[in-house]
């Protein structure tokens, strides 16, 4: 690399430097439509996180701009999302009371910590962290979270006070509070629920039937929550249901742009928040990358996970800076953004600008917005996240994956999001090691008249007396090296005439230090018994490493390019 002089143009993101006029209409439209979706969502998710509504609005301005400058997705819509809001509530509940200034300050710290972690991961190029979670485990986690979120919103629909906490506490609290149900609230909440469900299921179809194009119909259907918010707010304001029927409403939302500023966390706070911040970062990153990836693929674009870390990290840092809370890429808004024609992150910048206008001048409009309707939009949004399809597929394709999915979902529901996600990571890795610890191995012989070698148990093949050729269908590492040793010793006990053990390494992509140790000990043990260990079809990178080890030295002249070469006497030829 050559030294570069700094220039403003070169430091701008690629999409901005090469912006084309033809993209502008799409970006403006998408920005507007996403804003209409974002307003109720940001209020609702702040409610879910236990924060005042304006915090949701704050988290929907600067983070979008930061991501637009640093992220790699053209269409990811960053901001408050359901799962991160739940994780925020779960992290802060033991530390402060929801709704207090202290609680909001901790949310800011959580966002800051999470942002710094993501930036550090990005600087260290740890984008591969996104792949520590298998898809079934993520699916189980999201499904479990959706159930927890939906149950937690029921009290708002009923218009009752009930403790939040474990699933069990929530259920008991709801049961106790049921007799105190506020009928007007329930009517608004249930009405919205029914409207939103019907809209989600049928609205697009009806619109198409009356002549709207499919794409427009899809987008219009996604705006149903805004319609529910507007109609219900109007009804409450008109009938003054907040006074006459004690319907709980959003109330005063402070008008004006957020103040910028930041207090750094103390050691106690760091100690309390590092783990939740890490988990929120990990989950948010995994979710964002998978949404961004699936959208990018539709236009032959690519996502750079290391740049995503930087983009999301910066988004969270500026969210903290502007009094927000942890943000990440949202699924539904990103899809709408894409479908509405967004070509570049300019669409996001447009949203951010519109949100700034809303918060600067229009927060008064939210006064009569009933909590029950926000809760209804959350419930409908998260219920669509419940994913039985992946469970069904995994059940048929791979039982171990299906079991990890169910265990993760149950873990989240019964023990909370943090324990649930940690269980998920442990299960992902556990299943991986368990599988690899039982590698497929086959004794092979030559298909007569060819240079092909197949499993002696399945094919009529020729073998050479005294030569045991064993193919290992897995990389050799700490979890399975002993299995190879066990298999060879079993085979040797079954056939005392064996004098040459040939390990066919065509599927061995790596040999780690542990496996190298096992092979070295095995070679010595075999050699004491007058048996030679030989290798065949060792891959280039594996051979390169092996050659400089004591085992590599001892094996000289006994590593064959092909099984065929090892079968031909004398074995000294054709070896390297």
Q: Give least dist CB 206 to its own copies, A.
A: 28
Q: How far is the CB of 401 from its own copies (least distance, A)?
A: 4
Q: Decide whether 248 or 562 has the Cβ nearer to its own copies.
A: 562
Determine the interface stretch with its own copies among 56-64, 144-152, 357-365, 430-438 (rule: CB under 8 A): 430-438
Q: Is 497 in the site for its own copies (CB under 8 A)?
A: no
Angle, vertex CA 29, rays to CA 23 and CA 32, nearest 5 = 135
Interface residue with its own copies among 29, 164, 414, 506 (CB under 8 A) is 506
Coil, strand or helix: which one is 559?
strand
Task: Report the C-alpha gap between 249 and 53 in whole angstroms.
Answer: 11
547 binds its own copies (CB under 8 A): no
* 295 is a site residue for its own copies (CB under 8 A): no
142 with 162: CB under 8 angstroms? no
Buried b (16+ CB within 10 A) or exposed e, 11-28: eebebeeebeeebeebbb
The span of 24-32, 221-229, 363-371, 470-478 binding its own copies (CB under 8 A) equals 470-478
Fill in the per-residue mask, 514 to 533: x = in contact with its own copies (CB under 8 A), - = not in contact: x-xx---xx--x---x----
The answer to whether 566 contacts its own copies (rule: CB under 8 A) is no
Is residue 473 at the binding interface for its own copies, with CB under 8 A as the rule?
A: yes
Q: Any contact of residue 437 with its own copies (CB under 8 A)? A: yes
Segments of 319-374 assigned E as strands: 328-330
**Tokens 């799409």 — which residue?**
26
**Which of 462, 489, 495, 574 touches its own copies (CB under 8 A)?**
489
Token pair of 379 as six digits: 């419930």
Using CB under 8 A as the binding rule, whether residue 394 contacts its own copies is answered as yes
CA distance 29 to 219: 11
Other C-beta atoms closer than 10 Å to the C-beta of 10 total 9
Find the binder of its own copies among 302, 392, 499, 568 (CB under 8 A).
302
Q: Does 479 bind its own copies (CB under 8 A)?
A: yes
Integer Cα distance of 499 and 488 in angstroms:
12
For residue 200, give the DSSP letter: I
Considering the complex, state which of residue 466 and residue 541 has its C-beta at the smaller distance from its own copies: 541
Q: Does 4 bind its own copies (CB under 8 A)?
A: no
End-to-end CA distance of the chain: 39
564 binds its own copies (CB under 8 A): no
Q: How far lies 387's CA from each of 143, 184, 406, in Å?
A: 6, 33, 11
Query: Is cis: bond before 570, omega within 30 of 0?
Result: yes
Could you say which DSSP state residue 22 is in?
A: G
Among 112, 133, 417, 469, the residue binding its own copies under the rule CB under 8 A is: 133
Closer of 231 and 403 to its own copies (Cβ): 403
344 sits near its own copies (criterion: CB under 8 A): no
Q: What is the DSSP string of 57-89?
A: HHTTTHHHHHHHHH-S-SS-EEE--HHHHHHHH
Which residues form the interface with its own copies (CB under 8 A)?
Answer: 128, 130-136, 293-294, 297-298, 300, 302, 390, 393-394, 396-398, 401-402, 428-429, 431-440, 458, 473-475, 477-480, 482, 486, 489-490, 492-493, 506-507, 509-510, 512-514, 516-517, 521-522, 525, 529, 539-541, 545, 548-549
């Amino acid at each position: 690399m050559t030294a570069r002089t700094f220039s403003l143009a070169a430091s701008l993101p690629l999409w901005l430097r090469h912006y084309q006029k033809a993209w502008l209409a799409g970006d403006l439209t998408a920005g507007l439509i996403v804003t209409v979706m974002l307003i109720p969502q940001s209020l609702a998710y702040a409610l879910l996180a236990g924060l005042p509504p304006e915090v949701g609005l704050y988290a929907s301005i600067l983070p979008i701009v930061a991501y637009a400058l640093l992220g790699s997705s053209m269409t990811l819509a960053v901001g408050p999302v359901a799962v991160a809001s739940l994780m925020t509530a779960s992290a802060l509940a033991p530390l402060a009371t929801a709704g207090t200034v202290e609680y909001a300050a901790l949310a800011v710290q959580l966002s800051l910590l999470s942002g710094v972690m993501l930036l550090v991961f990005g600087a260290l190029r740890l984008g591969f962290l996104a792949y520590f979670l298998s898809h079934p485990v993520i699916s189980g986690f999201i499904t479990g979270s959706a159930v927890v979120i939906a149950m937690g919103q029921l009290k708002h629909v009923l218009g009752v006070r009930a403790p939040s906490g474990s699933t069990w506490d929530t259920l008991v609290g709801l049961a106790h509070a049921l007799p105190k149900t506020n009928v007007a609230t329930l009517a608004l909440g249930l009405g919205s629920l029914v409207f939103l469900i019907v809209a989600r299921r049928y609205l697009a179809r009806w619109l198409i039937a009356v002549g709207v194009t499919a794409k427009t119909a899809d987008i219009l259907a996604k705006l149903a929550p805004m319609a529910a918010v507007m109609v219900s707010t109007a009804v409450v304001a008109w009938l003054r249901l907040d006074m006459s029927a004690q319907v709980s409403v959003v109330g005063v939302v402070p008008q004006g742009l957020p103040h910028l500023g930041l207090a750094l966390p103390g050691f106690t706070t760091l100690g309390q928040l590092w783990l939740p911040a890490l988990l929120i970062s990990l989950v948010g990153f995994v979710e964002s990358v998978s949404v961004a990836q699936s959208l990018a693929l539709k236009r032959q674009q690519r996502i750079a996970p290391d740049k995503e870390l930087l983009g999301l990290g910066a988004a969270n840092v500026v969210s903290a800076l502007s009094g927000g809370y942890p943000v990440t890429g949202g699924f539904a808004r990103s899809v709408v953004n894409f479908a509405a024609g967004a070509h570049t992150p300019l669409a996001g910048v447009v949203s951010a600008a519109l949100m700034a206008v809303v918060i600067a001048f229009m927060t008064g409009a939210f006064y009569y917005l009933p909590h029950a309707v926000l809760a209804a939009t959350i419930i409908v949004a998260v219920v669509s996240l419940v994913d039985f399809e992946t469970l069904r597929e995994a059940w048929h394709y791979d039982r171990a994956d299906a079991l990890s999915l169910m265990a993760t979902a149950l873990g989240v529901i019964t023990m909370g999001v943090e324990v649930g996600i940690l269980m998920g990571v442990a299960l992902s890795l556990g299943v991986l090691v368990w599988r690899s610890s039982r590698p497929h191995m086959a004794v092979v012989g030559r298909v007569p008249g060819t240079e092909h070698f197949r499993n002696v148990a399945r094919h009529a093949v020729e073998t050479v007396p005294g030569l045991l050729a064993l193919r290992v269908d897995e990389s050799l590492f700490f979890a399975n090296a002993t299995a190879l040793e066990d298999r060879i010793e079993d085979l040797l006990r079954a056939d005392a005439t064996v004098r040459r053990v040939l390990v066919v390494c065509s599927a061995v992509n790596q040999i780690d230090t542990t496996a190298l140790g096992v092979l070295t000990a095995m070679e010595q043990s075999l050699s004491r018994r007058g048996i030679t260990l030989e290798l065949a079809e060792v891959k280039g990178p594996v051979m390169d490493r092996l050659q400089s080890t004591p085992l590599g030295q001892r094996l000289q002249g006994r590593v064959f390019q092909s099984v065929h070469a090892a079968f031909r006497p004398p074995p000294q030829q054709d070896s390297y």
